Chain A
Amino acid sequence: EAQVTQNPRYLITVTGKKLTVTCSQNMNHEYMSWYRQDPGLGLRQIYYSMNVEVTDKGDVPEGYKVSRKEKRNFPLILESPSPNQTSLYFCASSNAHYSSPADTQYFGPGTRLTVL
């Protein structure tokens, strides 16, 4: 089954304690992205990756890091989480690339993060 998986689904942590949210897709997609969803703001892009070892900032990258060492995985790293990073996070992937840029994105089930 084609899917995007995220782990953990729920996480409560404290300020300053480094954490990683994993994301994996089995569709051989080149494009992967992280979003956060906040009330009244919709989904905002944090970081994206066009391919292995190619990443770039989205609209709200402050306080986050990503890496893309393998095509299927795109972890989101919070080096020193703060309460304003409490949010619902979604990973997404798509087959968008330079020659076929318009493609739908497939989303993971979400990770609800609470930073105390």
Chain B
Amino acid sequence: DQQVKQNSPSLSVQEGRISILNCDYTNSMFDYFLWYKKYPAEGPTFLISISSIKDKNEDGRFTVFLNKSAKHLSLHIVPSQPGDSAVYFCAASNPGGTSYGKLTFGQGTILTVHP
């Protein structure tokens, strides 16, 4: 049972345009969400997070939006750069539960930004 889903395996965008990566979750107990970026032959690195008490969090070119009623979050990258080409993982957790620290990941989306 995939509790966190990224339904788009890949996304291709032109440099300078907006990249939008989507993520859906089914577990209503999740209340903390993160995006990780992964380059080949490296471990995932933290990109941005959002708590369920917010609906938007921004950090430079990266913005995460959370729609709790739809159980949906998205990552916007504006403007996209070739160096953003990587696999992006959405992750969710329930820090208030007994399994604090546990992250449930989506399948990942491969983003390719063309020059």
Interface residues of A (CB under 8 A from B): 4, 31, 33, 35, 40-45, 48, 50, 58-59, 90, 92, 94, 96-98, 101-110
Contact = CB atoms under 8 A, between A and B. Distances in A.
Given A101-B96, A104-B49, A108-B43, A40 B107 contact: yes
A42 B103 contact: no
A96 B44 contact: no
27 contacts: A33-B101, A42-B6, A42-B106, A42-B107, A42-B108, A43-B44, A43-B91, A43-B105, A45-B103, A48-B101, A90-B43, A96-B100, A96-B101, A101-B95, A101-B100, A102-B49, A102-B93, A105-B46, A105-B101, A106-B46, A107-B43, A107-B44, A107-B45, A108-B43, A109-B42, A109-B43, A110-B42
Interface string B72-108: 0000000000000000010101011000111111111
B105 to A, nearest CB: 4
B32 interface: yes
Interface range, B side: 20 to 34
Nearest to A40: B107
A110 B43 contact: yes
Contacts of B104: 45, 59
A96 B95 contact: yes
Interface of B: 4, 6, 9, 32, 34, 36, 41-46, 49, 51, 89, 91, 93, 95-96, 100-108
A93 B55 CA distance: 27
A108 B44 CA distance: 8
Contacts of B95: 96, 101-102
Given A101-B95, A104-B34, A48 B102 contact: yes
B49 A50 contact: no
Given A90-B43, A106-B46, A109-B41, A101 B89 contact: no
A109 B45 CA distance: 10
Contacts of A41: 107
Nearest to A90: B43
Nearest to A41: B107
Contact of A4 (B34, B43, B100): B43
A90 B44 contact: yes
